């Protein structure tokens, strides 16, 4: 009798684990994954999906360790991360689930509305130190950055800073929400956030990538028509051997209904 009970419990555990999935990683992708998971679980009541942030690097590390089913990322997987997977006898599949425009934000009291890529580079590398140097008040610039495990940190460095180093001692924030809060409370602040995080507590800057000839504001429409220059793909990564378990949810995210949620959250659809 005891054997039958133990087998039943073991089987229940297998069924539960098959129906429970974890998604971990990028803070940028977090609000999208949460909404997608809520909608998917409503349509599939037997399924459980838990979603947590921490940064793209944290999510990919969890995928390597086998502690998450899907890593959400705002950057591509790195060569050394692929190597670690291979060392563990695993390979990962990459799926683009949406696109994001990276918005540059300042305190609403800041009168500066336009910045060129070169000016942004100067600000975040420490060459430009006061707002009056870019047409603002005589106020010290306080730049906020994401921490190094963040895919957004790396994308900003690559696209905006052209791979130059951030200034020494830059204020590194653990989450995108912290950047919004800090910028909204600090007059001289500037930071960068994913499009879905924009709100009335901060002001989005119009950006120029053609040395000031044209300035564009970050919006889903401008990202889609390619007039806004700071746009990137958002990814899901999963272990190839786990495809059967994760594919129904990923297919849902890529479906018409899932892509409608992408638009609702404030990102750009894949089509």
For 16-53, write each residue's pLDDT tens digit: 345 799 999 999 999 999 999 999 999 999 999 999 99
Sign of the CA dihedral 172, 111, 117, 78?
positive
Position of tokens 């901060």?
A: 202
Class assignment of domain 100-224? alpha beta
Q: In this structure, are residues 195 and 267 in contact, taking their beta carbons and an 8 Å threshold? A: yes
Beta pairing class for 114-116 and 142-146: unpaired
Position of tokens 């018409």?
A: 256
pLDDT at 5: 39
CATH code, residues 2-98+233-265: 3.40.190.10
pLDDT at 3: 43
pLDDT < 70 regions, the chain? 1-18
pLDDT at 18: 55
pLDDT at 19: 76
pLDDT at 13: 40
Task: Dig out the tokens for 259 from the structure.
Answer: 């892509």
CA distance 169 to 171: 6
Q: Please, what is the average pLDDT of the chain?
A: 93
Q: In this structure, are residues 81 and 60 in contact, taking their beta carbons and an 8 Å threshold? A: yes
CATH fold match for the domains 2-98+233-265 and 100-224: yes
pLDDT at 12: 39
Delimit the domains of the chain by residue range.
2-98+233-265, 100-224
């Amino acid at each position: 009798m005891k054997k039958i009970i133990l087998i039943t419990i073991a089987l229940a555990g297998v069924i539960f684990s098959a129906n429970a999935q974890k998604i971990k990683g990028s803070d940028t992708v977090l609000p999208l994954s949460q909404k997608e998971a809520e909608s998917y679980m409503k349509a599939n009541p037997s399924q459980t999906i838990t979603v947590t942030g921490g940064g793209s690097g944290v999510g990919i590390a969890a995928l390597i360790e086998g502690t998450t089913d899907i890593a959400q990322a705002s950057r591509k997987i790195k060569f050394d991360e692929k190597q670690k997977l291979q060392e563990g006898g695993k390979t990962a599949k990459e799926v683009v689930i949406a696109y994001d425009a990276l918005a540059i934000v300042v305190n609403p009291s800041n009168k500066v509305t336009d910045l060129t890529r070169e000016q942004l580079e100067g600000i975040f590398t420490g060459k430009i130190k006061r707002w009056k140097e870019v047409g603002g008040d005589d106020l010290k610039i306080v730049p906020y950055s994401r921490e190094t495990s963040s895919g957004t940190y790396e994308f900003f460095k690559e696209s905006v800073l052209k791979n130059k180093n951030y200034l020494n001692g830059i204020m590194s924030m653990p989450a995108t929400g912290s950047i919004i809060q800090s910028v909204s409370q600090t007059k001289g602040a500037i930071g960068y956030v994913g499009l879905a995080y924009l709100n009335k507590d901060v002001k989005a800057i119009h950006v120029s990538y053609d040395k000031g000839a044209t300035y564009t504001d970050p919006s889903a429409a401008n990202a889609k028509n390619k007039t806004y220059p700071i746009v990137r793909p958002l990814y899901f990564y999963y272990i190839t051997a786990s495809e059967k378990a994760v594919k129904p949810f990923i297919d849902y995210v890529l479906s018409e209904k899932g892509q409608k949620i992408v638009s609702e959250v404030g990102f750009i659809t894949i089509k």
